[in-house]
Homo-oligomer: A and B are copies of this chain.
């Protein structure tokens, strides 16, 4: 499914289908949420020689092709995940770093209110909430 669409998208632009590109896309799909470095680690398990540079270049390419997206969670590294229908909102725990997801539908009322009152159209696919997950922040208030 993804391999063939990758091939098509590449060929349509005169670009080439390579093992690295397939592996990197697959890694992003498998990992769900991953930084370039995590993708690198995952890909290396299958093909040891793949360079981190190629990860960066390919993630950028896959994003241009519309197959993946990235978000900036808290600090430094961007997180990549598959693009497409299943847009989701990230719930990032400040304590344990866990990344959970929630249904973007829950954003709908707020998004509509902002659009109506401010003319601001929220990009629902890029929303991240920071806070404390059930496991970490339950008892304490701070």
Question: Which A residues form the contact surface with B (CB < 8 A)?
Answer: 72-76, 91, 93-94, 100, 102, 106-107, 109-110, 113-114, 118-123, 126-135, 137-138
Contact = CB atoms under 8 A, between A and B. Distances in A.
User: What copy number does this chain have within its complex?
Assistant: 2
B100 A118 contact: yes
Given A72-B72, A72-B74, A126-B130, A91 B110 contact: no
A119 to B, nearest CB: 3
Nearest to A142: B121
Nearest to A132: B121
A114 B127 contact: no
Main secondary structure of the interface of A (DSSP, over half): mixed
A101 to B, nearest CB: 10
Nearest to A133: B120
A75 B123 CA distance: 15
A52 B91 CA distance: 33
Contact of A114 (B73, B102, B114): B102
Nearest to A134: B119
Contacts of A113: 106
A130 B109 CA distance: 16
Contacts of A138: 119
A120 B126 contact: no
